[in-house]
């Protein structure tokens, strides 16, 4: 059962402590898991009311888990993540906790088992405090919802937090928790991380299990991690089985710099922040600009075709027309109608384009260790925006936000987004760092160093303004 707290828990707006700080306080006996969890639940309630960041908050189960963590600390048997509060995206199954997949079609749906990615963290002592909001079935980049209302960006409530893991990003940016689980099919972890000024990590395709996650496009779906910073992600990644190297090999890394992904240019703020960050990187790393010409040919259209085909197959096999008509949003129904016109030939062509792109990307990165590029081409759009114009280019908000992220789902390469805060600007740009498949731990290692460099630079001063 999920209990609602009384009003004294509302309005608690202190930021969540970082994960390592919380672990140190728990291990040192300076706090208890009950206290940490109760504060996280209170902050979650505040972020639900202010930003619609949570769909469900579970006081009873979370506090029972906290009591078990306190018993383990008292007996000297804490697990790796003992007593750490986390949030889980509503696309990911949680045993005994309502999981709606962002849709009114699944209101009241309570899974019998945890998704693998949840079980791994819970078995090591992490405490799930609730489910964060998502675009219906993760099929969108704004975390807007006809059924449950829009999720708002804590940096500016008139703007989208991005999506589809927008609730997780908003919860972290608002300070409810320091980290959480999301999903990323075309940028759904990295985009909201970028727009909310936090870190978001998509590992190599297949590095983390998708069992227990409602599929959007199975050949593109990735579980992902979001955190206040790279170190919070690293704590969860290590517990998830991603090996973090101890060596300093990253110091000799060669970086390829992509200024943009055709045909979408970066807006002025993104270009300026990215160019300044690259100038900083040149003081430590060997950097060379990469010509994007021809590299991304056809990739976005192939991505869209794969999502449309695979996504529709999942829904047509799970639901009948009557249920879809009664409970699915108009946006989702329109996408499913479009899918009916797709042919096997269309899908096969998209997969061939995918194969060719992966080959081109691997060849281009032969002499490079990492790529760096903006995460998104623009700053957070307004909530009601459907189109975007950047220079001479115009298109949908979806294209503006996904063009720089979706290719790395198509290729299956690991990627992480870190914020670039510019002095005098309350909204962040973001840098995306892409590694070779399998180099997930090394990517986190170098991302932490790059994060430190850009955070400490006076030209990219951190301005973290909540709730404009």
Residues classed as catalytic: 89, 164, 188
Q: Where are the beta strands (DSSP E) in 322-386?
A: 370-374
Q: 415: helix, coil or strand?
A: strand
Backbone torsions φ then ψ of 440, nearest 5 degrees: -65, -45
Backbone torsions φ then ψ of 247, nearest 5 degrees: -75, 165
| Structural element, H or E, at residue 281 | helix 268-281
DSSP state at residue 427: S
Angle formed by the axes of helices 230-239 and 440-456, nearest 10°: 160
Which residues 6+ apart lie within 8 Å of 43 measured at CB?
12, 13, 14, 16, 174, 175, 176, 177
CB atoms within 10 A of CB 159: 21
Token pair of 141 as six digits: 């980049």
Q: What is the DSSP string of 129-178?
A: EEEE--SGGG--SS---TTT----BTTBTTB---SSSHHHHHHHHTTS-S
Q: Would you say how long the chain is, in residues?
A: 468
Query: How many whole angstroms separate alpha carbon 224 and alpha carbon 203?
Result: 7
Task: Please give the C-alpha separations between residue 448 and each of 10, 270, 416, 453, in angstroms, as whole numbers.
Answer: 34, 21, 10, 9
Task: Please give the C-alpha separations between residue 286 and each of 276, 295, 360, 447, in angstroms, as whole numbers.
Answer: 16, 22, 22, 15
DSSP state at residue 384: T
């Amino acid at each position: 059962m999920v209990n609602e707290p009384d009003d004294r828990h509302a309005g608690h707006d202190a930021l969540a402590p970082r994960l390592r700080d919380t672990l140190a306080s728990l291990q040192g006996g300076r706090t208890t898991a009950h206290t940490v969890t109760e504060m996280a639940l209170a902050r979650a309630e505040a972020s639900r009311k202010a930003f619609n960041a949570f769909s469900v908050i579970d006081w009873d189960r979370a506090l029972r888990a906290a009591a078990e963590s306190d018993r383990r600390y008292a007996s000297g048997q804490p697990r790796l993540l003992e007593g750490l509060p986390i949030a889980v995206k509503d696309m990911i199954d949680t045993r005994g906790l309502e999981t709606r997949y962002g849709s009114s079609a699944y209101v009241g749906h309570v899974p019998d088992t945890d998704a693998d990615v949840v079980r791994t963290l819970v078995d090591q002592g992490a405490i799930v405090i609730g489910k964060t909001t998502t675009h219906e079935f993760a099929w969108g980049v704004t975390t807007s919802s006809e059924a449950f209302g829009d999720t708002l960006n804590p940096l500016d409530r008139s703007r989208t937090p991005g999506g589809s893991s927008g609730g997780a990003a908003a919860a972290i940016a608002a300070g409810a928790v320091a980290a959480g689980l999301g999903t990323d099919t075309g940028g759904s972890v990295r985009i909201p991380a970028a727009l909310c000024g936090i870190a978001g990590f998509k590992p190599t395709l297949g590095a983390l299990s998708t069992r227990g996650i409602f599929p959007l496009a199975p050949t593109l779906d990735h579980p992902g991690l979001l955190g206040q910073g790279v170190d919070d992600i690293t704590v969860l990644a290590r517990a998830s089985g991603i090996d973090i190297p101890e060596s300093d090999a990253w110091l000799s890394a060669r970086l390829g710099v992509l200024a943009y992904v055709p045909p979408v240019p970066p807006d002025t703020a993104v270009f300026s922040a990215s160019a300044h960050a690259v100038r900083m990187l040149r003081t430590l790393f060997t950097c060379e600009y990469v010509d994007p010409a021809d590299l991304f040919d056809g990739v976005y259209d192939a991505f869209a075709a794969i999502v449309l085909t695979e996504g529709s197959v999942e829904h047509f096999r799970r639901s009948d027309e009557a249920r879809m008509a009664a409970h699915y949003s108009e946006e989702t129904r329109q996408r499913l109608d479009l899918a009916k016109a797709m042919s096997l030939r269309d899908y096969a062509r998209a997969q061939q384009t995918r194969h060719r792109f992966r080959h081109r990307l691997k060849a281009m990165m032969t002499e490079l260790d990492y790529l760096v590029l903006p995460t998104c081409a623009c700053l957070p759009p307004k909530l009601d925006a459907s189109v975007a114009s950047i220079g001479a280019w115009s298109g949908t908000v979806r294209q503006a936000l996904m063009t720089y992220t979706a290719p790395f789902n198509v290729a299956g390469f690991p990627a992480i987004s870190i914020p670039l805060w510019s002095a005098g600007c309350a909204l962040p740009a973001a840098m995306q760092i892409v590694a070779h498949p399998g180099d997930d731990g090394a990517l986190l290692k170098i991302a932490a160093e790059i994060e430190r460099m850009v955070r400490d630079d006076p030209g990219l001063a951190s301005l973290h303004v909540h709730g404009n």
